[in-house]
Amino acid sequence: MTGAVDIKGSAPPKLLAAFRANFAEGAELGARFCAFRDGELVADLAAGWSDREKTIPFAEDTLVCVYSSGKAAMATLVAKAVSDGRLDYERAIATDWPEFAAEGKAAITLAMALSHQAGLCGFADEIPPDEWIRWDNICARIAAMAPLWPPGSAAGYHPQTVGYIVGEVFRRRTGRT
């Protein structure tokens, strides 16, 4: 693939042009964009490479680490579920996820997790890269771990765990992921 990038999928013309421009300007190595409006797929694009050596094409099923970019969407979905009465910020997580109560975590609430006060900011042992996509395994690790401080007594950024904690509560309460 030399010159223009091979874009797979479809999107409205302006969005497709912007997606293509990111590659033309050198801002992208590989990317995927998908959007729905009112439950209907309106854009689905993939292009470029999934490795720096440009040997593996970026495909529709290429996994990408997005770090904290999903936290705003997570907070919005949780706020909507709270507004609809499906979630409660002050409800103990262990009420819906009994295994989570282990190691002194029975009183941790959704609010504590969202505000990084649960004391569960990371893992004591290294997690192999291919393990991060195994949702149930990571949730089991979190359920089994002890807080680093008494929950609610301090705050510390939970970059590795908050998405799994909140996501598991959301899944158990709403049936959605």
Mean pLDDT score of the chain, rounded to an integer?
93
Higher pLDDT, 65 or 23: 23
pTM of the full structure: 0.74
Residue 102 confidence (pLDDT) above 60: yes
Sequence-distant contacts of 8-14: CB under 8 A, at least 24 apart:
8/45, 8/46, 8/47, 8/59, 8/60, 9/43, 9/44, 9/45, 9/46, 9/60, 10/43, 10/44, 10/45, 11/35, 11/42, 11/43, 11/44, 11/45, 12/42, 12/43
Q: 132 exposed, middle or buried (CB, 10 Å; 0-12, 13-18, 19+)?
A: middle
Mean pLDDT across 156-174: 96
